[in-house]
A and B are shown apart, each in its own frame.
Chain A
Amino acid sequence: MLEIELKQLSEVVKETESAANSFMNSADELRKIAKNVDSAIARKLEDIATRIYEACSFQDLTGQRIKNIRNKLTLVSQNAKGNKPLAEQEKTFEQSLMNGPQDSGIAPDQNEVDNLFNKTQVQKN
């Protein structure tokens, strides 16, 4: 049960990886062109190439969300086969810290993380 759906999700991850690599290859082309144009245009092309690279992190972030969905669907599938009630897998403390990206409405930005990081005291053993 759900094998086809799980496979579809794997295909999504492969396709997004392929797309991200295509975008980054295009960014590399822009950088090559930048070497042969005047400096003002070169800077703009370099900047565009950098923005493309930055944006390609979508593949990692969507992949993490899809992984979470896959894990949940696998659990549903296993539970369905065994006719057991749906139950969360028991996680170790370390596993409980790995949740992937938070929702866009609640995820902190870098400034908020920096504030928290800077005010966190390190306990000396």
Chain B
Amino acid sequence: MSIKDLQILIVDDYKTMLRIVRNLLGQLGFNNVEEATDGQMALTKLKEKNYGLIISDWNMEPMSGLDLLKAVRADDKYKAVPFIMVTAESKTDNVVIAKQAGVSNYIVKPFNADTLKQKLTSVIGQF
């Protein structure tokens, strides 16, 4: 199985952003992508399928990306799944708290395809 067969879950309450991330992942060769529009939906999907990577926004309600990250890291079944936060939240507190909570990497919006590739590589290895 190729690394590009990796099952990826992308989470954002803006459908435009889901389309953008899906498209950029597709350009990198990752086409096994599923979507959730909030943290709770993401958790439901995680129970149904094994994902190799989660890419999530932070600013979502009722369940934020930070709450999703904490829930993922608290569950033995998913706690090792790489988790990249992709968010407009760029204050020092946000970055520090996300890292403390176990995020694998952190992308600030707006971002470009090269940044996404770089962070994916750092988290899942060369592809």
A116 and B88 form a contact (CB under 8 A): no
A102 and B90 form a contact (CB under 8 A): yes
**A122 within 8 Å of B (CB atoms):** yes
A57 to chain B, nearest CB (A): 5
Distance between Cα atoms of A90 and B31 in the complex (Å): 42
**B95 within 8 Å of A (CB atoms):** yes
B111 and A101 form a contact (CB under 8 A): no
Given the complex, which residues of B lie within 8 Å of A117, measured CB to CB?
95, 99, 105-106
- Nearest to B115 among chain A residues (CB) is A110
Known: A53-B24, A122-B100. A97 touches B94 (CB 8 A): yes
Ordered nearest first, which 10 A-B pairs have the shortest CB separation? Answer: A101-B88, A120-B99, A60-B14, A59-B16, A57-B110, A60-B17, A98-B59, A20-B16, A116-B95, A54-B112
Given the complex, which residues of A lie within 8 Å of B93, measured CB to CB?
97
Cβ-neighbour of B88 out of A20, A55, A60 (below 8 A): A60
**B77 within 8 Å of A (CB atoms):** no
B110 to chain A, nearest CB (A): 5
Number of A residues near B (Cβ < 8 Å) is: 36
B14 and A97 form a contact (CB under 8 A): no
**B79 within 8 Å of A (CB atoms):** no
Given the complex, which residues of B lie within 8 Å of A61, measured CB to CB?
88, 109-110
Q: Count A/B pairs, Cβ under 8 Å.
A: 105
B residues adjacent to A (C-beta < 8 A): 12, 14-17, 19-20, 23-24, 27, 58-59, 64, 66-67, 88-97, 99-100, 102, 105-113, 115
Distance between Cα atoms of A17 and B15 in the complex (Å): 9
Known: A61-B88, A94-B66, A102-B91. A54 touches B102 (CB 8 A): no
Given the complex, which residues of B lie within 8 Å of A26, measured CB to CB?
none
Distance between Cα atoms of A56 and B95 in the complex (Å): 24
Distance between Cα atoms of A83 and B20 in the complex (Å): 44
A53 to chain B, nearest CB (A): 5
A114 to chain B, nearest CB (A): 8
A110 and B111 form a contact (CB under 8 A): yes
